[in-house]
Amino acid sequence: MDLSYGEGAETFRREVRSFLKGAWQPGERRKDELKTFIRDFRTKATDAGYLYRAIPKQYGGSEQPADVVKAQVIREEFARARAPMEIGGNGMSMLVPTLLEKGTPEQKDMFIRQTMAGDMMWGQGYSEPGTGSDLASVRTRAELVGDEWVINGQKIWTSQGDRATHMFGLFRTEPNASKHGGISYLMLDLNQPGVTRRPIRQMTGEAGFYEFFFDNARTPASWIVGERGDGWNVSRTTLKHERASIGSADALGGTFRKLVELAQEMEIDGQPAIKDAKVRDALTKIEGWVMAHRYSSFRLFSLAAAQEQPGLVGLMMKLLLTETGHEMALLAQELIGDHALIEPASAGTRGRGPEKWLDQIMGTLGNSIAGGTTNIQRNIIAERGLGLPRDLAMEADK
């Protein structure tokens, strides 16, 4: 297996490294001064063709030819220099690619540049109470009144809901149509009368998700992406980008290295835990999964470089990422022992010592939901990849 990128890529790597050496010098800047420096740095990096490569220049991007090898080199070198890449979040990773593919020219002009600048922060409005994994059964209504959509209902499990200024999501606009054909993909401003946001406290004590209530909230009729009643197909575009954004080649490697350090730090019968045969066996199994994820990412990378369809590789990687992360958290919990019973807020989970693992342990449970639940991922892989019969439980729900 040849994992080298080729001489052309290595020449490009030296160019990126030289740019970063000159442009990324944050020094001792703090707060507002640092924010200004980062904004200016992103502008320089975009002008140099390293950031926002897939976005046309007319919307503020660098509009570079699609090249997955160069994109990977840029990610690696920016990470090595600890330099910021594009503004993240739902807006850049999901909405902007969807608008580029499905949006009108007016929508692209209005939303893409402001999202890139961080002036628009987006929450995702998909999940609703009682809908579970059946996304097409959303009930939040949007009724066209004049030149506005009037929205009533509730959305839940919206990440980054505290900072979101806008929302994109699915709303039922055709109550008499089929389940999949009666929904539309709308965008709306969250800072208006008729919108109430409420934090959802997690077991860590933090509010990582929010729920939103709509009581005659309004959004312009033109803020619909795609055709009316075709929101299901538009949403598949968004979910495709969401799943592609979860994880990287070394997404598990850093956590595994910290797990090994924890095993070296903690003791069993007066000896470092890593000397215990059962601990070493567990670490060996986990390392195998970590390596499997890493090489699967190279497989996905190679498919993209050859302009071939990834098939189910992305779903398999997401499943492996979630399951391996959870197994690492469980082993960390065993190694921590009594410390795992300490309340995170009092333990200082982001401080020193083994207590910093507590958020990781609890957070992996939420990761099994993000981007599609683990069981749904298994069903898709089994049915579409292996040709197995449909899940009987899913058939019974019809």
Cβ 63 vs Cβ 57: under 8 Å: yes
Distance CA 373, CA 366 (A): 9
Which 8-state DSSP code applies to residue 27?
A: T
Contact residues for 223 (Cβ-Cβ < 8 A; gap 6+): 107, 149, 186, 187, 188
Q: Which residues are marked as active site?
A: 242
Distance CA 228, CA 142 (A): 11
Cβ 155 vs Cβ 140: under 8 Å: yes
Distance CA 187, CA 225 (A): 8
What's the helix, strand, coil split of the chain in %, to 5? 50, 15, 35
Among 46, 202, 187, residue whose Cα is nearest residue 113: 46
Contact residues for 340 (Cβ-Cβ < 8 A; gap 6+): 333, 358, 361
Where are the strands (E) in the chain, listed by range? Answer: 122-125, 141-145, 148-159, 166-172, 183-189, 195-200, 209-220, 224-225, 267-268, 271-272
Q: Classify 25 in phi/psi space as left (phi over 0), alpha (psi -120 to 50) or beta.
A: beta
**Residue labelled with tokens 């009724």:** 143
Query: Residues 388, 389, 395, CA angle at the centre, nearest 5°?
Result: 145
Contact residues for 9 (Cβ-Cβ < 8 A; gap 6+): 69, 70, 73
Cβ 321 vs Cβ 244: under 8 Å: no
Cβ 19 vs Cβ 48: under 8 Å: yes
**Residue labelled with tokens 């503020």:** 60
